[in-house]
Amino acid sequence: MATWQWDPSLYSGSARYYPRGRMPYPTALADALTTELGLDGSGRLLDVGCGPGSLTLLLANRFEQAVGVDADPDMLTEASRLATETGIHNTQWRHMRAEDLPAGLGSFRLITFAQSFHWMDRPKVASIARSMLDTGGACAHVHATTHQGVNGEEALPHPRPPHSAITELVRSYLGPTRRAGQGSLAQGTASGEGEIYRAAGFTGPQQIEIPGRVLTRSTDEVVAAVFSLSSAAPHLFGDELGKFEAELRQLLHDTSPSGTFSEQTRQIAIDIWRP
């Protein structure tokens, strides 16, 4: 793993693209957690690295209160806006890094990490999370890919977005090594979180699997998905942002002149860890 340090520009400029570009978590995810953990509207949820509240807002009505924390203030602005738009009033948003927890936030019935744990000091955060759980509480680690679907040969109602060509287009502007804030990730993000959780005093995991599904996507949504990535955040393109977007849109038009795409989403896996 290449040495990489977090910096505040990791998702700079991406927040406004995230809600539209990322495919939503299915209600089946919330239903599965509700069944497995016996959620009944009581207790509190802490979503760590919540972004614009994609998971926080899905789960909020299963708890008395849902708290989302994130290091990017623009993500929290989007989360607050979406909570207001959808009439969800039991949420609280806190601007902080996960490493700054517990920050006086109290204890929680469920703590979630959804596409966020790899950006953190994982041993430190896992240990803190364990200390913040109510008796009988759990952590849920959500394995998902929401910016794009899977490739395949099966017929879909519309063309798939040309993901490989999009990746090559990004590389033609930003270079072959994956960018991440002011640094890069030559080997990608960290894995092996199971060892981290166990070392922090968790047992498990118990795994829940949510099947993939076919979704319809527009050109604007696919463009937003690209800009929602830390590896293609708008600030990385500098003065060439407009040129890159024009080429991206042309590539998408060449693939689907109608501007409509189909995506087969990946299966979502949820690892439940208990102290």
Per-residue pLDDT of the chain (275 residues; tens, 9 = 90+): 346 788 888 899 999 999 999 999 999 999 999 999 999 999 999 999 999 999 999 999 999 999 999 999 999 999 999 999 999 999 999 999 999 999 999 999 999 999 999 889 999 999 999 999 999 999 999 999 999 999 888 899 999 999 999 999 999 999 999 888 787 777 667 778 999 999 999 999 999 999 999 999 999 999 999 999 999 999 999 999 999 999 999 999 999 999 999 999 999 999 999 99
Give residue 187's pLDDT.
Answer: 67
Q: Which residues contact 103 (CB under 8 A, 6 or more apart)?
A: 69, 94, 96
What number of other Cβ atoms are within 10 A of residue 66's Cβ? 28
Contact indicator for 56, 25 with CB cutoff of 8 Å: no
Q: Which residues contact 46 (CB under 8 A, 6 or more apart)?
A: 67, 68, 69, 105, 108, 110, 111, 112, 132
Give residue 3's pLDDT.
Answer: 61
Give residue 8's pLDDT.
Answer: 87
CA 265 to chain centroid, in Å, comes to 14
| Closest listed residue to residue 205, CA positions, set 266, 273, 258 | 273
Give residue 188's pLDDT.
Answer: 66
How far is residue 263's CA from residue 110's CA, in Å, rounded to a whole number?
A: 30
What number of other Cβ atoms are within 10 A of residue 35's Cβ? 10
Q: CB-based burial of residue 258 (10 Å sphere; 0-12 exposed, 13-18 middle, 19+ buried)?
A: exposed
Assessment of whether the complete model's pTM goes beyond 0.85: yes
Q: Pairing between strand 65-70 and 91-95?
A: parallel
